[in-house]
Amino acid sequence: MGMRAGELAMEFATVGLDDDALEAARILAAAGRPALIVLGDDGLPYTVLPGSQVLRFVLPQYVQDDPRLARVYDEQSADALGRGLSGRRVRDVLREKPDVDDIPVVEADATAIEVAAVMARMHSPIVAVVGDGRFLGAITVSRLFGRLLPTGEAPQGSQK
Amino acid sequence: MGMRAGELAMEFATVGLDDDALEAARILAAAGRPALIVLGDDGLPYTVLPGSQVLRFVLPQYVQDDPRLARVYDEQSADALGRGLSGRRVRDVLREKPDVDDIPVVEADATAIEVAAVMARMHSPIVAVVGDGRFLGAITVSRLFGRLLPTGEAPQGSQK
């Protein structure tokens, strides 16, 4: 039968919609992940919040349009990130109510290939796993590869 | 002056264009990252290869279009990933030659805000850093947050 999502799921950092946005950014930093899972008021995954989206919220549009202009902007503040998030909640940082089909989430009994298909379809490095009406954990693409790939020699990849 | 990209850069898993695609997937699994940096023949960043792109290459289109169909497909193979990558090179898995403006890369003297702007603009969790004509390392969004955010109490985020 192969591996199921419930067995592949691991602990993953989450935040609530009404949590402090600055705290959320700190949690992301501490977790060392590219994104957080945002849980809705029902405790189920509401969306995935990529760190890059937090930056989009904080940085002025002209800096995003032309990152070279950041050098001008930078003179004023290395703490723009903190100031931009201060007093905000996670829900303020999100772009809009995500469409239910755009949330990378699977049931605990989903097959590993189903998990892979959701990642591929949504260009997502993370899939949330739910079961019995609650959030169980998440599966990263690296974990999926680690479990799905046929064993071979240890990777020789260059680390730089 | 604030932190510069060269100081923020850290070791990051890379692969070459002609490296074996299956080995690349194993390297991604071992590195525990959402993506790898692909170096071109000149040793400079050519593109970022997200794990989800590897899955897009391997999985049949009908499974990506409707992940529920994965259950049918799954019956045949949990090792579809290995078979789909076997004998392929990294360059085969890439979609097309990336436009130079679409590669998240900065010079070592880029400011932290410039790094943030590149991440925001390209929706990328990783930025490659180059200097003196070579790849120096990469900056993840979590590392950037860890360095840019004003210090506060330790994050209390729920880990699930």
Average pLDDT over residues A95-114: 85
Chain B contact for A101 (CB, 8 A cutoff): no
Q: Minimal CA–CA distance to B9: which of B100, B132, B97, B98?
A: B132
State pLDDT tens for residues A36-67: 999 999 999 999 999 999 999 988 888 888 88
User: Minimal Cα–Cα distance from A92 to chain B, Å?
Assistant: 17
Q: How close does chain B come to A39, measured CA to CA in Å?
A: 11
**What pTM value is reported for the model?**
0.88
The Cα–Cα gap between B143 and A64 comes to 19
- Under an 8 A CB cutoff, do B113 and A2 touch? no
Instruction: Please answer yes or no on whether A78 and B157 come within 8 Å at the CB atom.
Output: no
β-pair partners for A111 = A4
Cβ atoms of residues B19 and A132 within 8 Å: no
**A122: Cβ contacts below 8 Å, ≥ 6 apart:** A102, A104, B52
Position A51, amino acid:
G
What is the CA A104 to chain-centroid distance, rounded?
A: 10
Answer yes or no: is pLDDT of A160 > 50: no
Q: Tens of pLDDT along A77-103?
A: 557 778 888 899 999 999 777 777 778
Closest alpha carbon to B36 in B128, B108, B142 = B128
The DSSP-derived string for A94-109 is: S-SPPPGGGS-EEETT
Report the pLDDT value the prediction gives residue B109, as an integer from 0 to 100: 94
